[in-house]
Amino acid sequence: MTTSPFSILIIVVPFISAFLVPIIGWWRKGLCYPLVIGALSLSVLSCTVTLKMVMGGGTVHYYLGNWGPPWGIEYVIDHLNAFVAIIVSVVSLIIAIGSRRSVERELPQKIVYFYCLFLLHVTGLLGIVVTGDMFNLYVFLEIASLAGYALIAIGEDGAPIASFNYMIYGTIGACFYLLSVGYLYIVTGSLNMGDLSRILPDLYHSKVVLMAFAFFIVGVGLKMALFPLHVWLPDAYTYAPSAVSALVAPLTTKVGAYVMIRIIFTVFKPHFSLELIPATAILSWVAIVAILFGCIMALGQTDLKRMLAYVLIAEVGYIALGVGLANRAGLTGAILHILNDSLMMACLFLVVGAIMYKVGLRNFHQFRGLHRKMPITMAAFTVAALSVIGIPPTCGFFSKWYLVLGAIAANRWFFAAILLISSLLNAILFFRVIENVYFEPAVYAHNGGDHGEISRDEAPLSMLIPILAVTIGILSLGILSGKIISNIIQFAVPAGL
Amino acid sequence: MDLHNTHDDRLLCHDRQETAIILYFISTGAKRGATIPIVDHGQGGAMHAVNAAYYVNPLPHVLMLTAIVVMVSTFGVALALIIMVYRRYKTLEEDEILELRK
């Protein structure tokens, strides 16, 4: 067993910096941004070191205050959460770099508080990922969510209402989660995930355990916006400031998906979730409806940000489908899709932020001729769109490929067909936007005379660099996905499958 | 009966749900005939080996201290949001807000 201080630094650095931001911001506002970048870079570094240790020597444990389990809180990092932690830290660092100009423009009075909440949100997400204690997970869940509610509420008109609705749904989800933690605690006397997975198999036929499992799925489903529980998502992510949507959209739902995988396959054994109750079978049907619903609802939107919010609901459906298929290929696809979808959504929402910053438009029918004004941004958009559709060599293709393989391995040809149909729907969705950007003649009513002559006016460098970084990530991780699977993901899939 | 579809009502209902969960957790720590979990106050004082059956389980209470902090801050954020909504629309009725936002 290895212990390493780096596993706690992942959280402590952004957490302490979150409280330093208001103090330093009170003295000099300009220092907040470098502090945030520095803190998140250290977090990325700790995640990388921890991932290296996990790849070298297996699971890393850290006992908080040196209290061993089951008395103390333990951080357990194995291949699955090392992988998710590095996604969360890297994506949030990239979003933080890109946030500078849009925050200065959209929230000039609130820069200091914005960055404080930003770091708290990232701390919460990272905490959810690294902890090995059920109650500690609840606390981090609420830290992340509270910061998220506040971040979303500072958006445009309609944001406070959207945020309030999100808060009601989010706290109901947290209550379900807390109640099931209580149920498991009375029957097992432990809150440690490793302990629970050892004690629970003898109690699998207890009604309390069944209820706890059901409440877990509903609570986590609310947090990850799985189909019937997604109602809060479109409004909240549409009205949030661009930098906030770019942070919460790629990460919050993915971390929820991670918690779901953790509970279904680690806290409860696959034997329980697959054979004793048909939980995964139900989950896969729900996921199929989520995919179709997300794609079809997205077809009806003309606001690009709202359309992406519905696409995100469909993407959550993909991950849930991989979990629900519950075989090696399906789960590999689901875990790989956590990575790919974080990158794709980060890229798309960053592009929306850049367009909002430069042109101030979100309705994609008004995007005509934008490829000449912002060629690099729109090229990045096209790459991310192709990845969502699932065209090789972008990374989106590979996770969908594994999901289709999983559906075939589970003898669910219907699911494989739905995956292909959803790709077609995604193609329609994104080509509507791409057509407007590249092929429709630019018509500018307000300066009627000089039509066709659009000068190049690209987004500022601090926005372009993150967009390019994510785009390169989408292309290169597609090519490297074989390596990622053989080095990390195959160890993250539970042994029983 | 006067049922309003208002945001503050929803928040209060939700608060009651949270209180119920706190009470549920605290009730799980209770034991018949047991005393507060401080060794000096137990039956037989501090001289004997500690018998867990004589003391209520303190862990759920400690967990709920944390949960209360979390819930209070959630409630605070929610009230702040309600104030923001009220300042913007001068009402908290869901239907009226939807009407105003058209």
Report if residue A86 sits inside a domain: no
Report if residue A403 sits inside a domain: yes
- Mean pLDDT over all residues of chain B? 81
d(CA A134, CA A192): 6
> Which residue of B14, B18, B81 is in closest CB contact with A160?
B81
Can you say how many angstroms the Cα of residue A234 is from the centroid of all Cα atoms in its chain? Answer: 15
Whether the predicted pLDDT of A474 surpasses 80: yes
Return the pLDDT at A91: 94
Residue with tokens 């029918």: A365
Handedness of CA B92, B96, B100, B102 (dihedral sign): positive
Whether the predicted pLDDT of A442 surpasses 80: no
Structure tokens at A241: 């400031």
Q: Answer yes or no: do B81 and A164 touch at CB < 8 A.
A: yes
Report if residue B35 sits inside a domain: no
Q: Give me the mean pLDDT over the B75-80 stretch.
A: 91
Please name which of A179, A216, A213 lies closest in space to residue B20, comparing C-alpha atoms.
Answer: A179
Total domains in the fold of chain A: 1
Return the pLDDT at A445: 47
Report if residue B87 sits inside a domain: yes
| Nearest residue in chain A measured CA to CA from B19 | A175
Identify the weakest region by mean pLDDT among A13-17, A96-100, A320-324, B91-95.
Answer: B91-95
Report if residue A366 sits inside a domain: yes
Structure tokens at A108: 């000039």
d(CA A173, CA A226): 12
CB atoms within 10 A of CB A456: 9
Would you list the DSSP string of A195-257?
HHHHHGGGGTT-HHHHHHHHHHHHHHHHHHT-GGG-TTHHHHHHHS-HHHHHHHHHHHHHHHH
Total domains in the fold of chain B: 1
Whether the predicted pLDDT of A143 surpasses 70: yes
Identify the weakest region by mean pLDDT among A5-9, A35-39, A220-224, B62-66.
Answer: A5-9
Label residue A48 by pLDDT band (50, 70, 90): very high
Please name which of A382, A379, A423 lies closest in space to residue A399, comparing C-alpha atoms.
Answer: A423
Residues of A in contact with B28 (CB under 8 A): 182, 185-186
CA-based nearest distance B28→chain A, Å:
7
Query: In residues, how long is chain B?
Result: 102
Residues of B in contact with A175 (CB under 8 A): 17-18, 21
Return the pLDDT at A6: 84
Report if residue A348 sits inside a domain: yes
CA-based nearest distance A494→chain B, Å:
30
Return the pLDDT at A448: 44
Would the ipTM clear 0.90, i.e. be above it? no
Report if residue B70 sits inside a domain: yes
| SS3 of chain A: helix, strand, coil, percent, to 5 | 80, 5, 15
State the maximum Cα–Cα separation within chain A, in Å, rounded to a whole number. 79
Radius of gyration for chain B, computed over Cα atoms and rounded to the nearest angstrom: 22
Return the pLDDT at A298: 92
Q: Answer yes or no: do A164 and B78 touch at CB < 8 A.
A: yes
Query: Which A residues in the span 186-205 are in contact with B, Cβ-Cβ below 8 Å?
Result: 186
A401 touches chain B (CB under 8 A): no
pLDDT in tens, B30-59: 888 887 877 765 555 555 667 777 788 888
pLDDT in tens, A258-283: 999 999 988 888 888 777 888 888 89
d(CA A123, CA A120): 5
Report if residue A260 sits inside a domain: no
Please name which of A247, A242, A253, A246 lies closest in space to residue A313, comparing C-alpha atoms.
Answer: A253
Most confident of A102-111, A386-395, A432-441: A386-395
> Which residue of A153, A158, A182 is in closest CB contact with B81?
A153
Report if residue A221 sits inside a domain: no
Label residue A489 by pLDDT band (50, 70, 90): confident
pLDDT in tens, A323-349: 998 888 999 999 999 999 999 999 999
How far is the first Cα of chain A from the last one, in angstroms, to the nearest whole number?
A: 24
Residues of B in contact with A142 (CB under 8 A): 70, 73-74
Which is more confidently placed, B80 or B43? Answer: B80
Report if residue B44 sits inside a domain: no
Report if residue A442 sits inside a domain: yes
B85 touches chain A (CB under 8 A): yes
Report if residue B49 sits inside a domain: no
Structural domain boundaries, residue B65: 7-27+58-101
Label residue A471 by pLDDT band (50, 70, 90): very high
Return the pLDDT at A142: 93
Label residue A450 by pLDDT band (50, 70, 90): very low
Label residue B9 by pLDDT band (50, 70, 90): confident
Return the pLDDT at B48: 60
d(CA A313, CA A71): 39
Report if residue A379 sits inside a domain: yes
B21 touches chain A (CB under 8 A): yes
Instruction: Determine the residue among B73, B75, B81, B102 to mutate to test chain A binding: the one whose Cβ has the most chain A Cβ atoms within 10 Å.
Output: B81
Return the pLDDT at B52: 75
Would you list the DSSP string of B20-82?
HHHHHHHHHT--TT-B-S-GGGSTTTTSSPP-GGGB---HHHHHHHHHHHHHHHHHHHHHHHH
pLDDT in tens, A76-123: 998 999 999 999 999 999 999 988 888 888 888 888 889 999 999 999
Return the pLDDT at A347: 94
d(CA A400, CA A402): 5
Radius of gyration for chain A, computed over Cα atoms and rounded to the nearest angstrom: 22
Q: Could you tell me the pTM of the whole model? A: 0.92
Q: Is A95 helix (H, G, I), strand (E, B) or coil?
A: helix
> Which residue of A149, A157, A175 is in closest CB contact with B18?
A175
Return the pLDDT at B1: 39
Report if residue B46 sits inside a domain: no
Query: Which B residues in the span 41-60 are in contact with A, Cβ-Cβ below 8 Å?
Result: 59-60
Label residue A218 by pLDDT band (50, 70, 90): very high
With b for 16 or more beta-carbon neighbours within 10 A and e for fewer, the A235-262 pattern comes to: bbbbbbbbbbbbbbbbbbbbbbbbbbbb
Return the pLDDT at A497: 74
Strand ranges across the sheet with A60-63: A2-3, A60-63, A74-77
Return the pLDDT at A141: 93
Return the pLDDT at A385: 93
Return the pLDDT at B41: 57
Structural domain boundaries, residue A404: 313-446+464-497
